[in-house]
């Protein structure tokens, strides 16, 4: 009985001793990934701060400075975790977890879709704000109530369209997105016609000149 226990304990500690180098090796790889991911995130945030991109967007009044910082934070965080997962894959291989590697690889291949979706959402917000201002200026002769209502409608339409594009990029309800896409395009055409058809060309030029002057300040 004692010999059996000794044999079990001996095999256990021998296997543990053989596995420890792999355990620490995988942990080392993962720690390197965490460090690199954090450095890249901080680098992106620093570049945005020193380049004053947030102030540039803020001057256009299309989006607030704080919102630009939030979007930058989100994008840099996603990129950080992409790098961490890149290092997690070899760490799992070292630990002998090949099945887990397959799952992690699928997540890694999906993350670029998330990055693109974030960029699309950001551009959609800028486009909705710009078009909303353009519509408001274009139809201001109709009265403040009508122009504001039309501007809100235009902004909501573009935001809805943006949501559809984001969902399609993420692979969520793609069939439904395609069906709704046709209807949204029609509404966008209507909004664009109202913006530029109701005497909006000259006013649109004035708005763009105003934006240029703000950027020069």
Q: What is the pLDDT of residue 36?
A: 93
Whether the pTM exceeds 0.75: the reply is: no
Q: Tell me the C-alpha distance between 163 and 193, whole Å.
A: 22
Asked if pLDDT for residue 162 goes beyond 60, the answer is yes
Each residue of 133-158: pLDDT tens digit? Answer: 777 776 666 566 767 777 788 888 88
User: How many residues in the chain?
Assistant: 217
Residue 10 has pLDDT above 50, yes or no: no
Residue 39's pLDDT is what?
93
Q: Would the pLDDT of 122 be above 80?
A: yes
pLDDT at 58: 67
The predicted model gives 190-199 an average pLDDT of 56
Q: For residue 188, what pLDDT is reported?
A: 58
Q: Give the Cα separation of 132 and 157 in Å (integer).
A: 10
- Burial environment of residue 155 by CB neighbours within 10 A (0 to 12, 13 to 18, 19 or more): buried
Q: What is the pLDDT of residue 127?
A: 85
Q: What is the pLDDT averaged over residues 171-179? A: 66
Which domains, ranges and CATH numbers included, belong to the chain? 1-96 (no CATH), 112-217 (1.10.287)
- Residue pLDDT, tens place only, 39-66: 999 998 888 888 777 677 767 667 777 7
Mean per-residue pLDDT of the chain: 75
């Amino acid at each position: 009985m004692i010999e059996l226990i000794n044999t079990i304990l001996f095999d256990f500690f021998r296997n543990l001793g053989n596995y420890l180098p792999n355990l620490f090796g995988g942990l080392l790889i993962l720690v390197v990934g965490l460090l690199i991911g954090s450095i890249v995130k901080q680098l992106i945030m620093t570049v945005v701060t020193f380049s004053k991109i947030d102030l540039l967007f803020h001057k256009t009044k299309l989006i607030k400075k704080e919102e630009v910082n939030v979007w930058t934070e989100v994008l840099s965080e996603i990129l950080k975790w992409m790098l961490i997962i890149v290092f997690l894959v070899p760490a799992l291989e070292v630990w002998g977890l090949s099945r887990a590697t397959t799952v992690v690889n699928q997540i890694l291949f999906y993350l670029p879709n998330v990055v693109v979706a974030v960029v699309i959402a950001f551009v959609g917000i800028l486009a909705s704000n710009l078009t909303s201002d353009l519509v408001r200026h274009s139809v201001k002769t109709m009265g403040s109530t009508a122009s504001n209502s039309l501007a809100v409608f235009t902004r909501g339409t573009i935001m809805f369209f943006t949501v559809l594009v984001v969902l399609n990029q993420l692979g969520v309800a793609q069939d439904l997105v395609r069906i709704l896409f046709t209807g949204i395009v029609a509404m966008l055409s209507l909004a664009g016609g109202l913006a530029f058809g109701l005497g909006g060309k000259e006013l649109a030029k004035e708005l763009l000149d105003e934006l240029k002057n703000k950027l020069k300040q």
